[in-house]
């Protein structure tokens, strides 16, 4: 296949990638976008194999079979609540792949022809090793935190230690550029970057994990683009650049949604919880618990209902029970919508995916800016397992850890029902005055059980 046809095939795959990402911007077109991206990747892989004139496909076929088997197993076994962990692992594997590809290409060039080691080649090799390794180990820590098997580790002087590691990794990279025949320097970069990846993510709190995963996704794209320069592969360069740029944009959007700076996220800086009121001050004697029968009577005459899903809904797998409750409310003449906060759950779109899995129509899922003006005209808001994203102190208390964070204005609704197992705080570690508001009733229950209890009680009314 001539160079013109190779580049044309790569251009076609790049176009499909862009169209795929465009499709992923809306739930209604997400499936088609995913399919377009997959077709683009198939074209890119086949083109790369033809371009490199591969003769022996034994290892490639073996990798394809093993990888497909693992992927199919994960796709069928991983629960929707664990999807953020899945994304973290995939980010990490992408970074590791870039690291090993760059290392293999360096060894190959040293054995075949030193003339292949151009300035572009060796600079890209060092970048792939550094960024790819940081991505891999940082993603593994993020996975462990989301899975609950890794705790926050905050050591004195951690920021200085990280800065030293980064300087050492960059110095080694310069050394490798000056002397590319010293292969051990590349592996030294990998070792130092491994420690840096672990040290960077260990102190970052769980509340910032969605931002960290998005940033690591961007890192994996940057590492892939660098690997593309190592291999002189246009498709890999374009794909990596798309992932890197989209990851940075998403990270910026999420930081704004949480009123957090990227610097604070990366360095694990969070306002101390003692800057907020204590739970006794907020809740003492003011929380009103209710049972399902009382809540059913409240909802009997509701004409407009808004449901705010949170991570508690994901944990209890309550989306199907919530769908049945929505269907019952609509049968009784109520208008029902869902209010989706950008950082509800563990990653962007987490709630949308869960609700779509339960066949909730996309047009019922409203973003924060769209639905906030309508809360004052809402009869009942049902908060299911959400906390910080509906905490009004973000607007009222400048000293709060979440001060300035855009929230869903649930407190402005006529009546509020909160389904929650306890009064335990959210990721920010502060109490929520909404739970003690005059127009709030608490149903202390698992999200799934609470939704089913309300539905059954409503049927009996």
Q: State what percent of residues in the chain have pLDDT above 70.
A: 93
What are the DSSP calls for 159-228, one per residue? HHHHHHHHHHHHHHHHHHHH-TT-HHHHHHHHHHHHHHHHHHHTTS-GGGHHHHHHHHHHHHHHHHHHHH
Q: Which of 51, 208, 388, 446 is catalytic?
A: 388
The strand pair at 415-420 and 380-384 is best described as: parallel
Q: Are residues 119 and 254 in the same domain?
A: yes
Q: Are residues 243 and 96 in the same domain?
A: yes
Distance of CA 416 to the CA centre of its chain: 29
Note if 388 is an active site residue. Answer: yes
Among 236, 266, 296, the domain boundary falls at 266
Q: Are residues 257 and 309 in the same domain?
A: no
Q: Are residues 215 and 352 in the same domain?
A: no
In a domain, 40, yes or no: no
Domain range holding 140?
78-266
In a domain, 166, yes or no: yes
Q: Are residues 201 and 248 in the same domain?
A: yes
Q: What is the pTM of this model?
A: 0.79
Number of domains in the chain: 2
Q: Are residues 222 and 294 in the same domain?
A: no
Residue 271 has pLDDT above 70, yes or no: no
In a domain, 61, yes or no: no
Q: Are residues 247 and 336 in the same domain?
A: no
Closest to 407 in 3D by CA, of 429, 432, 425: 432
The pLDDT tens digits for 55-67 are 788 888 898 899 8
What are the DSSP calls for 319-374, one per residue? HHHHHHHHHHHHHTT-EEEEEE-TTSSSSTTHHHHHHHHTT--GGGEEEHHHHGGG
Q: Are residues 244 and 98 in the same domain?
A: yes
In a domain, 114, yes or no: yes
Among 240, 266, 292, the domain boundary falls at 266
Mean pLDDT, the chain, whole residue set: 86
Q: pLDDT at position 300, please?
A: 87
Among 266, 298, 326, the domain boundary falls at 266
Mean pLDDT of all residues in 109-118? 83
């Amino acid at each position: 296949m001539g160079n013109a046809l190779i580049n044309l095939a790569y251009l076609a795959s790049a176009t499909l990638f862009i169209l795929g990402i465009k499709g992923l911007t809306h739930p209604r077109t997400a499936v088609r976008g995913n399919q377009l991206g997959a077709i683009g990747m198939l074209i890119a892989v086949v083109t790369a194999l033809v371009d490199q004139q591969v003769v022996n496909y034994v290892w490639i076929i073996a990798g394809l079979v093993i990888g497909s088997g693992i992927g199919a197993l994960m796709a069928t076994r991983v629960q929707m609540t664990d999807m953020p962990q899945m994304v973290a692992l995939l980010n990490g594997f992408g970074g590791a792949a870039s690291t090993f590809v760059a290392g293999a290409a360096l060894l190959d060039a040293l054995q075949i022809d030193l003339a292949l080691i151009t300035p572009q080649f060796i600079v890209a090799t060092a970048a792939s090793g550094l960024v790819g390794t940081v991505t891999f180990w940082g993603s593994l820590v993020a996975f462990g935190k989301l899975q609950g098997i890794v705790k926050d580790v905050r050591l004195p002087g951690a920021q200085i230690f990280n800065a030293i590691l980064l300087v050492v990794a960059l110095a080694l990279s310069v050394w490798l550029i000056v002397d590319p025949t010293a292969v051990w320097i590349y592996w030294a970069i990998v070792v130092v970057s491994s420690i840096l990846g672990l040290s960077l993510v260990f102190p970052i709190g769980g509340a910032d994990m969605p931002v960290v995963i998005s940033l690591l996704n961007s890192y994996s794209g940057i590492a892939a683009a660098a690997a593309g320069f190592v291999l002189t592969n246009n498709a890999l360069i374009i794909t990596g650049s798309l992932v890197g740029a989209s990851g940075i944009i998403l990270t910026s959007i999420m930081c704004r949604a949480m009123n957090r700076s990227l610097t604070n996220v990366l360095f694990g800086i969070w306002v101390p919880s003692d800057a907020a009121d204590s739970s006794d001050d907020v809740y003492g004697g003011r929380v009103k618990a209710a049972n399902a029968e009382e809540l059913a009577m409240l909802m009997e005459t509701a004409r407009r209902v808004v449901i705010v899903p949170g991570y508690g809904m994901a944990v209890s797998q309550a989306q199907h029970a919530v769908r049945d409750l929505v269907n019952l409310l609509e049968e009784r003449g109520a208008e029902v919508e869902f209010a989706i906060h950008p950082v509800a759950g563990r990653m962007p779109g987490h709630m949308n995916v869960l609700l779509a899995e339960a066949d909730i129509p996309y047009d019922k899922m409203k973003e924060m800016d769209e639905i906030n003006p309508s809360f004052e005209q809402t009869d009942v808001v049902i908060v299911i397992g959400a906390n910080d994203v509906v905490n009004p102190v973000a607007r009222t208390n400048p000293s709060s850890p979440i001060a300035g964070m855009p929230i869903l204005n649930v407190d402005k609704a006529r009546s509020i029902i909160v389904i929650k197992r306890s009064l335990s705080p959210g990721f920010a570690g502060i109490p929520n005055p909404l739970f003690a508001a005059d127009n709030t009733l608490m149903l202390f229950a698992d999200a799934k059980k609470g939704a089913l209890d309300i539905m059954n009680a409503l049927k009996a009314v």
